[in-house]
Amino acid sequence: MNRGRTRRAYVVPERWEAHTLARSYAGLAKSLHVSSPVPMVGRHGHPLGEGTVLRALYDGLSNFDAAAQELCVAFVVAPVYFSGSGYFRAAMARRLRNCELQPHQVEVLRTGLVSIFESGEFGSEARELVRLLVHIGPGREAERLSRLRESENAKSRWACAWFDARRRVALESQG
């Protein structure tokens, strides 16, 4: 029963469809000279699905795959919502904390994560997104993030409060 709530259509945007994502990865892997690209194959000869490709990109983060890292950074901050997107966003954010990020990737993550928190459009993956932002630091986005304390959106206020709490714990453990 809907109870008056608007249902969101979880349609995969074209940029994040399996075949488009696999093609993007292949082009990036070639241009970044990835020595052993992640195989983008479906199980038992089945066509690729979004989950299969996102799982391959996630696995590529463990292998220091620069092309997978670039696409994972883009996916983590992309406002896409489809079945499993929150799970993959959280998993990628968790693994990106252990990656050596390029300066431009750090800026993309800072801007994108704060934008996600401003919008309030996040689910259970928010904890991992906050942890990633604590890890990379808010940088120039600190002012935007601090404005969320007075936001009318309760989820945005929660994200900011959780960021402050995690940041405090991180600083205490450092010194």
* pLDDT tens per residue, range 48-93: 788 888 888 999 999 899 999 999 999 999 988 887 888 999 999 9
Residue 4 lies in a domain: no
Domain boundary residue among 44, 65, 100? 100
pLDDT at 87: 93
Average model confidence (pLDDT) across the chain: 86
pLDDT of residue 2: 46
Task: Tell me how far apart the alpha carbons of residues 27 and 29 are, in angstroms, rounded to a whole number.
Answer: 6
**Of the residues 52, 80, 100, the one at which a domain ends:** 100
151 with 124, same domain? yes
Among residues 117, 142, 141, the alpha carbon closest in space to that of 127 is found at 117
Query: And the tokens for 102?
Result: 């390029």
Range of the domain at 127: 102-175
CA distance 140 to 23: 33
Residue 112 has pLDDT above 90, yes or no: yes
Residues 86 and 129 grouped into a single domain = no
Residue 31, both tokens: 């241009």
- Picking from 77, 116, 122, the residue whose alpha carbon sits closest to that of residue 96 is 77
pLDDT of residue 39: 81
Q: Are residues 124 and 144 in the same domain?
A: yes
- Residue 71 makes CB contacts below 8 A (sequence gap 6+) with 21, 24, 25, 28, 57
